Amino acid sequence: MEVKQAEKPVAKPTQKLEKKPVKEEVKKEEPAKVVPPPAKVAPAKKAKEEKKQAPKVIWDAKDTEALANTKDPVEAERLVLKYFASIDVDNSGFIEKDEMITVVKSLYEIEISKRPEFKDALIRKDPKIIEAIKIETEKIALDTIKKMDLDKDGRVSKEEMVKSIVLSK
The CATH number of the domain holding residue 97 is: 1.10.238.10
pLDDT tens readout for residues 130-139: 899 999 999 9
Structure confidence at residue 167 (pLDDT): 81
Residue-wise pLDDT for 91-107, tens only, equals 999 999 999 999 999 99
The answer as to whether 160 is a domain residue is yes
Dump pLDDT digits (tens) for 31-79: 555 544 454 555 555 455 555 555 678 888 899 999 999 999 999 999 9
Buried b (16+ CB within 10 A) or exposed e, 45-56: eeeeeeeeeeee
Tens digit of each residue's pLDDT (9 = 90 or more) over 4-23: 555 555 555 555 555 555 55
d(CA 112, CA 118): 6
Number of structural domains (the chain) is: 1
Alpha helices in 13-149 (DSSP H): 43-52, 61-69, 73-87, 97-112, 116-124, 127-148
Domain range for 119:
57-166
Non-local (6+) Cβ contacts of 59 within 8 A are: 82, 83, 86, 87
Q: Is 94 helix (H, G, I), strand (E, B) or coil?
A: strand
pLDDT tens readout for residues 109-125: 888 889 888 888 888 88
Measured CA to CA, the distance from residue 108 to residue 138 in angstroms comes to 11
Query: Per the domain annotation, does 17 fall within a domain?
Result: no
- pTM more than 0.75: no
Q: Is 7 part of a structural domain of the chain?
A: no
